[in-house]
Amino acid sequence: MKHAKHDMHANSLAAYREEIERLKGRARQVFDYVALHGRSTDRQIMVGLAFTDPNMVRPRISELVKMGLLIECGGRREPATGKRVRQVDIPANQPDLF
């Protein structure tokens, strides 16, 4: 998924990339999934990464949001549960990663 062209200072861009490089394990899987597929719900990420328990991804998603590497961008009704759920995405002002 293509995101908006960035106009970040070179130092900010380097710091952003360093944060991504430090991601390990499941946090890296979650980040890479959203970077590749775009706006996603927790359940979409869970299923896309072949997990069966939402708690396998939710803590990592919240962690990535706190780090500023993902943003919550509204919600939608989840067909599987009928409940309104959050969606996350890469901030629009971040560089293309793929």
Count of alpha carbons within 13 Å of 12, Cβ hemisphere only?
9
Would you give the distance in Å from CA 27 to the centre of its chain? Answer: 9
Per-residue pLDDT of 24-38, as tens digits, reads 899 999 999 999 999
**pLDDT value at position 31?**
93
Mean pLDDT by 10 residues, the chain (98 residues): 51 63 86 94 96 95 92 88 92 62
Would you give the distance in Å from CA 5 to the centre of its chain? Answer: 18
CA distance 45 to 43: 5
Q: Where are the domains of the chain?
A: 10-89
Structure-block tokens of residue 46? 């869970």
CA distance 37 to 59: 19
**pLDDT value at position 16?**
60
Domain 10-89 falls under CATH 3.40.50.2000: no
CA distance 86 to 75: 4
CA distance 53 to 90: 23
- The strand pairing partners of 77, in sequence order, are 84
